[in-house]
Amino acid sequence: MDQSFLLMLTNLLHLQNHLDPTTSLLSDSSSSYSSSIASPTSPTSLLTSTSAAPLLFFTIASVLSYLATHHSPNKKPKTSPNNDNNNPSSPSHAAAAAEFSVSAFRALSTEHIWAMEAPLRDAQWRSLYGLSYPVFTTVVDKLKPYITQSQLSLPSDYAVAMVLSRLFHGFSAKTLATRYGLEPYLISKITNMVTRLLATKLYPEFIKIPVSRRRLVETTQGFQELTSLPNICGAIDGTAVRLQHLPSDTVNSSMYFSKYGFPSVLLQVVADHKKIFWDVCVKAPGGFDDATHFRDSLLYNRLISGDIVWDKGVNVRGQHVRPYIVGDWCFPLLSFLLTPFSWNRTGSPAQNAYDEGLMKGRKMVEEAIGLLKGRWKILQNLNVGLSHAPQTIVACCVLHNLCQIAREPEPELWREPEENGSPPRVLENEKSFYYYGESLRQALADDLYQRLSLR
């Protein structure tokens, strides 16, 4: 009960005492408000008084008590921030939910969107959802048919916005539930649905191996401008995606701890010269090495079986060089995956020149991973269940490609720890690919060194 009501009640008590001193309700001592309320005279004694004043007082006090209890619109309960966040009925919780409600989102996406200049509008959407309004609408348009089929009680664009907000800011389900006034389990359910759709329905459209002639030529020419090496069609690398929690009942949990000491799963990507991923694989716990993960990937099996056919070859010093990808020394040297001669420039002048060029190409995938984790902050500390981790990571890769294709502003790069280690051993079934890769690498190195010497 607030202080103003107590003061009003005290004044009424004084008034009643003045009108009917035979039934004083006030203590003779100067007691506090709380003690006056703690031991009141009973309503029965008021009703049996011979004066009209007690009955008048009782009626007025009852009305005031009812109003004070049921109608306090301008008063906020004194609760701690922690209690406020966890109490769905608290005013601040309600205010937050109103700010992120369907109606507030609808006003932002329909009424306000056309009143703003495009740069300001897109900057606002990027700050909220990690991408501009046109890219957001592209995502919604492509996912809407599938979300509609799920009979979700929320609008499709609102659900997508909610999940993008989580991926972009790295919010937990509990934090997002407080924001949107929903239960955490519902936030997790919507997140799982949208990321699964991104990882399955949109993956084939936005993550494609460059097998078409036009795209293959564009990619190899782009890499040649960067590296001075011919016919590079992609750069490969792996990264550990940190898990916020590893379930206590995880089988072989030690396998998930990376060499950096935190639980994680491995992401392997191949990027082109524009830092767009054309292959993504999440199949190994964080304790695995890049070579093992690569050999377990679909890409490796398709390359080693000859399933992927790149119809573009060049002749370099008598060697027929088909399109190849480049990686660091953590990957095996193969005819379709070329690696450096050394990691510390201990080779010949030709070999060192080749290594320098190759690492310029590899830098594209390194920066692509930095952009991925820099934009979709949930990948810096993944706060979803282990079973949903792969689809969440792949969904972020799809969104990364959408942003790169649309030429969205690039965020600050997430910096990966420096890698080191010895080259992996050659497997028996890889020996012919390894020896041919050695010949190709040396021919490319000698050719590059000669061209550089003539400049």
Judgement on whether residues 416 and 270 belong to the same structural domain of the protein: yes
Amino acid 95: pLDDT:
55
Which pLDDT band holds residue 22 (cuts at 50, 70, 90)? very low
Q: What is the pLDDT of residues 34-56, one digit of tens each?
A: 333 333 333 333 333 444 455 45
3-state secondary structure of 299: helix
- DSSP single-letter state for residue 198: I
Q: Above pLDDT 90, what percent of the chain?
A: 65
Rounded distance between C-alpha atoms, residue 128 and residue 381, angstroms: 19
Amino acid 105: pLDDT:
83
Among 160, 180, 203, residue at a domain's last position: 203
Residue 374 tokens read as 């820099």
Amino acid 244: pLDDT:
95
In a domain, 276, yes or no: yes
The range of the structural domain enclosing residue 446 comes to 208-387+402-452
Judgement on whether residues 191 and 217 belong to the same structural domain of the protein: no
Q: What is the pLDDT of residues 196-218, one digit of tens each?
A: 999 999 999 999 999 999 999 99
What residues are paired with 277 via a beta bridge?
271
In a domain, 440, yes or no: yes
The CA angle 126-371-405, to the nearest 5 degrees, is: 70
Amino acid 90: pLDDT:
53
Judgement on whether residues 118 and 251 belong to the same structural domain of the protein: no
Buried-state track 173-195, b at ≥16 Cβ within 10 A, e below 16: bebbbbbbbbeeebbbebbbbbb
CA proximity to 399, closest of 101, 143, 175, 214:
143
3-state secondary structure of 281: strand
Judgement on whether residues 423 and 276 belong to the same structural domain of the protein: yes
Is pLDDT above 50 for 69?
no
Flag the least confident range among 1-5, 41-45, 144-148, 428-432.
41-45
Q: Using an 8 Å Cβ cutoff, are 272 and 401 in contact?
A: no
Number of structural domains the chain divides into: 2
In a domain, 77, yes or no: no
Flag the least confident range among 54-58, 97-101, 108-112, 353-357.
54-58
Judgement on whether residues 195 and 226 belong to the same structural domain of the protein: no
Judgement on whether residues 118 and 182 belong to the same structural domain of the protein: yes
